[in-house]
Amino acid sequence: MKKNFLLLASAVFLFASCEQAKQAKESYSALSKLSEAGKDMSANMDKAKEERAEREKRGDTLSLPYKELEQYLPTTVAGYTPGELKGQSQKMSGLAFSTAERTYTKAPEEDVEVSLIDYNGSNTLYQGAAAMMSLGIEQEDDEHSIGPTAVKADGVKGMDTFYKKDGRAEMTLAVGGRFLLTLKAGKQKDMTLLKSVAESMDLEKLAKL
């Protein structure tokens, strides 16, 4: 009886030790991944600063006028009615940026919103968001899925988010070191529509500005 108890106790201790070792390994792995992500983000920020310094040397530090920015928004989205173009240019406390947006409507709660911001006059606001886009974060649960954008274009990085329960789709793209493009749509099954809308825009031309 005593021998059996000792064997059982040894087994429990061994199991607990294995579980602790497993948890420690998982914790170390998570910390390692977090450390690597931090290094990647730092590297992305450094690269962005170098590119910004080159832009400043050329004297290219102004955002596009909002009327010019509006011309980069999609003219049409198949099956949807385009709304009015809206935009503005803002300056405050040394910061300057331009925005342009348009909503394309199909039915109540079924529309596509496209927003484009030029942060060339306020690059510090842009750098952190752009660096996050470069990390390739992936996450999924019962509520939503997040991952690197399905849009493939030179000078473009971003993230796609799909909300499973209500069919909302969101896409955020960092373009060419100065532009932030956001697309949103309701009543979707996946990211297909937003991907097609983004690809209808001349993103590579924007990225070269």
Element (H, E) at 160: strand 156-163
Taking the model in full, what pTM does it have? 0.75
Residues 19-43: tens digit of each pLDDT: 444 444 443 444 444 455 456 556 6
Residues 35-74: tens digit of each pLDDT: 554 565 566 556 656 665 566 666 556 899 999 999 999 9
C-alpha distance from residue 30 to each of 34, 37, 42, 133 (Å): 6, 10, 18, 20
Q: What is the pLDDT of residue 116?
A: 98
Q: What is the pLDDT of residue 189?
A: 95
Q: What is the pLDDT of residue 108?
A: 79
Q: What is the pLDDT of residue 23?
A: 45
Residues 136-185: tens digit of each pLDDT: 889 999 999 999 999 999 999 999 999 999 999 999 999 998 999 999 99
The ranges assigned to domains in the chain are 1-60, 61-208
Q: What is the mean pLDDT of residues 126-135?
A: 79
Query: Counting every residue, how long is the chain?
Result: 209
Q: What is the pLDDT of residue 34?
A: 40
Question: What is the DSSP code (8-state) at residue 136?
Answer: -
Q: What is the pLDDT of residue 61?
A: 67
Residues 72-120: tens digit of each pLDDT: 999 999 999 999 999 999 988 778 899 999 999 998 778 999 999 999 8
Closest CA to 40 of 126, 129, 132: 132
